């Protein structure tokens, strides 16, 4: 399946969601990859992760085309933060269990994350939550997931 949602959040930002039904070759064909994309994708051995990474890049490409701009690839800085090649726009991307999501802002840093509630969060919660956040979330998977995605989207 292609893009299932594309929405302007304001005149300067847009987000999109891709439901992945294609194989990785079909996704790769749609992307028109650039050297930096190919280099990154070669480093991913897990097939599902490769598909999810391609889908997030396709969302970014669709957002740029929505704005009448071309996609020139995604590069990563020394801290592995993604950015658009040859652009000052800000991007954030995430993927989970068959979905890729991305957001682009023309001027400001921005974040997005997608995650399903999973019991693993119960075990690792003390590693990413403060004591007051742990009190708030307790053992509620929905609250733990909300805390997780909030923190992931700002990092």
Q: How many domains does the chain have?
A: 2
Give the integer Cα–Cα distance in Å for 132 and 115: 22
Residue span of the structural domain in which 128 resides: 120-154
80 and 148 belong to one structural domain: no
74 and 7 belong to one structural domain: yes
- The 10s digit of each residue's pLDDT in 3-36 is 999 999 999 999 999 999 999 899 988 987 777 7
- The 10s digit of each residue's pLDDT in 51-97 is 999 999 999 999 999 999 999 999 988 888 899 999 999 999 999 98
pTM: 0.88
């Amino acid at each position: 399946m292609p893009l299932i949602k594309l929405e302007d959040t304001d005149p300067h930002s847009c987000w999109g969601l891709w439901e992945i039904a294609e194989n990785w070759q079909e996704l790769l064909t749609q992307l028109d990859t650039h050297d930096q994309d190919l280099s990154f994708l070669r480093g991913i051995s897990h097939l599902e992760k490769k598909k999810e990474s391609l889908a997030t890049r396709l969302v970014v490409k669709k957002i740029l085309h929505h704005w009448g701009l071309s996609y020139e690839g995604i590069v990563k800085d020394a801290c592995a933060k993604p950015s658009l090649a040859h652009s000052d726009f800000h991007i954030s991307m995430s993927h989970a269990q068959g979905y890729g999501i991305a957001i682009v802002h023309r001027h400001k840093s921005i974040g997005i994350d997608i995650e399903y509630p999973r019991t693993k969060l119960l075990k690792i919660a003390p590693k990413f939550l403060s004591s007051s956040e742990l009190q708030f979330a307790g053992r509620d998977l929905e609250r733990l997931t909300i805390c997780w995605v909030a923190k992931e989207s700002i990092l």
